[in-house]
Structure 1
Amino acid sequence: MATRIKRGTSAKKGATRPKPRTAQRSRTNALLARLPFSEEQMQKAATIGILGILALGGVITAQFMGVPGMVQEEMALAAGRAGFEVKKVEVRNVDKMNELKVYEIVLAQKDRSMPQVDLEELRRQLTRFSWIADARISRQLPDTLIVDIVEREPLAVWEDRGRVMLVDAEGVALEPSPGQIDPKMLRIVGKRANTRIGDLTKLLDAAPALTPQVKEAEWVGNRRWNLSFHTGEVLALPEGEELSQAALVNFARMDGVNRLLGKGVTYFDLRDPERAYLRRPRSPAKPGGDALASAADQ
């Protein structure tokens, strides 16, 4: 007897059936119900956010493509209405200068639409402060301006006609606050001596063994340096970069061999490249004891 074979496939036993979509929807609805705002409010916020981002992107694109200013302004206002306007300012890396001065400049942008904030103009305004070497400003959407300050580093104390300032390696004069004058910091003295700070640094680098012992450098007659040491002596150097460096190196060599500093001499004169002169303290027994003497005769 022939056996009939029934065509078609039957469902396998134990196969998992997909969960009804209604169950997934119910879980989503349950999660939404727990949130502190309605689904309608979420949709509205998302729509405003998307429109704001589109408006912000449109303004940036319009600026690059040269779109008329009225169109750019309208797009910027649209971004502001969507919530992209300055509400907060964050200032970073301010240590030596008065931080309030930075906030005074940047907070003028408060409540402005983010695209309307001119970052380069803000940077120019901030770098007018002597302490600020550079300022990096960025937008942190939706409502924050980040201001990253690069401060100048004081290198020396500059004294000129009773006025005391700090100066950096470029000679920029920095208005000091109370307590910022370090008595151990190198002092430079003289009219426009701050503009010669680079030359002075190069001069001292020629004799690094002497540099820690230099207390003060006086720019004399706008042409040469006198160096004063912590031990009280004054060293007069000649005019000219090469001559002054050679004289200082020669003095460092003599001090290394004979220990000139701290031995009672008050003044060394190396302005004559052929001879070195020195002055000892005035002797009570010899009123003329402060006359210059040749180092070659000592």
Structure 2
Amino acid sequence: MAQTIRRGGKGVRRSTATRKARTKVASARKQTGNMVDQAMRWLPVSDDTLHRLMIMAIVGTVMAVAIAVAAMVGVPAMVEQHIAVLSGEIGFRVKRVEVRGVNRMNELAIYEKVLGQRDQVMSRLDLAALRNDLLALSWVKDARVSRQLPDTLVVDVVERTAHAVLRNGGHFDLIDETGHELETVPPSRARGMLTLTGKGAETKVPALDVLLDAAPALRTQVAEAEWVGNRRWNLTFKTRQELALPEGDDESAAALVSFARMDGVDRLLGGKVTAFDMRVPDRIYLRVPGHGELIVAQAKAAALARATHAAGADGPATHAAQHAASTPHAASTPHSTPTAHD
């Protein structure tokens, strides 16, 4: 019987090496499978849940890529344009504007800002830009713009409050509690409001409020406040009497409290004194109209009496000197001179 001998087959060594390699591969696969299985057992999810999560991740990735490609070719812009056209055709356009919260300012200023949005499609309104335009108005402290479908634009305004009047020459400007300028008004409209003068006074409104709060009994009596030399205040009361305060927040507050205490005891406001100067610590200077002439008249009468007495005269001149000395109030034109009171 003939026997076929094949040449070129694997030798014993090669067969042995192949078997060893297969054994190693099987062992590695078995070990890896055990590790993966063990890691899967550690996860607090079931196999079905993990499978669904993987599918969702794949789908999400595909959708993100699709959206990115669509954005690159301008598909969202075309879709938005198409939606805007359809919205306008079915009536979603701005036809009415409703303004709320306006009491003091001119409401027409609001409509001038908003009317540019008329006949625009609701979906294409830039509400943030419109709000910024409204905040640029001097009277508007805050604003909110909203859509009220199908065709109404609602504007809610928070107004600033007129707190005082800033007088600059012949101009009167309303300002709020922060010193923000609101509008220029005629003198008749500024009457009765606290009036501020002096360079930079509008920047000191909060500090002035703190100062006046130190003496609440005097706050309603203050008609004007002058910021002097960018360092201190002169207050003018409704009685037209003036009080000069020292520099420094604490020093001026202490002086105002001291003045309020003295006014409560001696009724300084409404009296003959026209000006009070408290710039020197622990001291107040008073200005009384005509007091200087009174002192001068008294001095002259006393000098005349002494001269007449020295000359030994006993005639009409002596009687005149004595009369002048006994009536020193017969002074000439009133004049203001300061006197000191500790």
Q: Answer whether TM exceeds 0.5 for this pair.
A: yes
Q: Which runs of 5+ in 1 are unaligned?
A: 1-61
Conservation of the 8 A alpha-carbon contact between 1:193 and 1:219: yes
Gaps of 5+ in 2: 1-66, 297-333
What amino acid sits opposite 1:141 in the alignment? Answer: L
**Aligned equivalents of 1:84 and 1:269: distance in 2?**
69
Match runs of 1:196-275 below 5 Å: 196-275=204-283
Name the amino acid aligned to 1:108.
G
For 1:166, give the aligned amino acid. L
Say which of 163, 166, 180 aligns to 2:171. 163
| 1:96 Cα deviation after fit | 1.6
Could you give the per-residue CA deviations for residues 248-282 of structure 1, whole angstroms, max 9, x where no partner exists?
01111111111111111011111111321111113
1:124 corresponds, among 108, 132, 148, to 132
- Which stretch shows the higher mean deviation, 81-90 or 240-249? 81-90
The question of 1:152 aligning with 2:160 is answered yes
Q: Using the TM superposition, give the Cα deviation of residue 290 of structure 1 relative to its aligned residue in structure 2, in angstroms.
A: 2.9
**Aligned equivalent of 1:193:** 201
Letter in 2 for 1:79: S
The 1:175–1:86 alpha-carbon spacing in structure 2 relative to 1, beyond 3 Å, is same
Deviations 1:74-130 (A, max 9, x none): 333332222111111111222222211111110101111101111111111011111
SS of 1:83's partner is: coil
Paired AA for residue 138 in structure 2: S
**Match for 1:208: what amino acid?**
P
Residue 295 of structure 1 corresponds to 341
CA distance 1:161–1:176, shift in 2 (3 Å): closer
Cα deviation digits, residues 182-218 of structure 1 (max 9, x gap): 4221111112211111000000000001111111101
Q: TM-score, normalised by structure 2?
A: 0.64
SS in structure 2 at match of 1:90: strand
**Inter-CA distance 170–70: structure 2 relative to 1 (3 Å threshold):** farther
Question: One-letter code of the match for 1:118?
Answer: D
* Corresponding letter in the other structure for 2:163: L
1:78 pairs with 2:86: yes
Q: Quick one: which amino acid aligns to residue 101 of structure 1?
A: A
Counterpart of 2:249 in structure 1: which amino acid?
E
Change (3 A) 1:249 1:73: farther
Aligned 8 A contact 1:73 1:116 in 2: no
Residue identity matched to 1:294 = A
Query: Are 2:99 and 1:91 aligned?
Result: yes
Tell me if the contact between 1:226 and 1:234 (Cα under 8 Å) persists in the aligned partners: yes
1:282 alignment partner in structure 2:
290
Inter-CA distance 243–82: structure 2 relative to 1 (3 Å threshold): same
1:114 aligns with 2:122: yes
| Distance in 1 of aligned mates of 2:90 and 2:283 | 80
Q: CA deviation at 1:156?
A: 0.8
Count of equivalent residues: 232
Deviation per residue, 1:21-62 (Å, 9 max, x gap)? xxxxxxxxxxxxxxxxxxxxxxxxxxxxxxxxxxxxxxxxx9
CA distance in 2, matches of 1:267, 1:290: 9
Q: In structure 1, how many angstroms separate the alpha carbons of the residues matched to 2:184 and 2:250? A: 34
Letter in 2 for 1:290: S
Show the counterpart of 2:15. none
TM-score (norm. length: structure 1): 0.72
Asked whether the 8 Å contact 1:169–1:198 carries over to 2, the reply is: yes
In structure 2, the CA distance between the partners of 1:94 and 1:237, relative to structure 1 (3 Å rule), is: same
Q: Distance in 2 between matches of 1:232 and 1:179?
A: 18
Question: Is the Cα–Cα contact under 8 Å of residues 157 and 181 in structure 1 kept in the other structure?
Answer: no
Task: After TM superposition, give the deviation of residue 68 of structure 1 in Å.
Answer: 4.6
CA distance in 1, matches of 2:239, 2:255: 19
Instruction: Using the TM superposition, give the Cα deviation of residue 139 of structure 1 relative to its aligned residue in structure 2, in angstroms.
Output: 0.5
CA distance in 2, matches of 1:221, 1:179: 25
In 2 relative to 1, CA 178–273 (structure 1 residues): closer, same or farther, beyond 3 Å? Answer: closer
Residue 227 of structure 1, CA deviation: 0.3
Name the one with the larger helix percent.
2
Mapped to 2, the partners of 1:184 and 1:76 lie a distance apart of 54
For residue 164 of structure 1, give the secondary structure of its aligned residue in structure 2: strand
Task: Quickly say closer, same or farther: Cα 1:182–1:289, change in 2 above 3 A.
Answer: closer
Matched position secondary structure for 1:209: helix
> Following the alignment from structure 1 to structure 2, what is the Cα–Cα distance between the partners of residues 170 and 125?
21
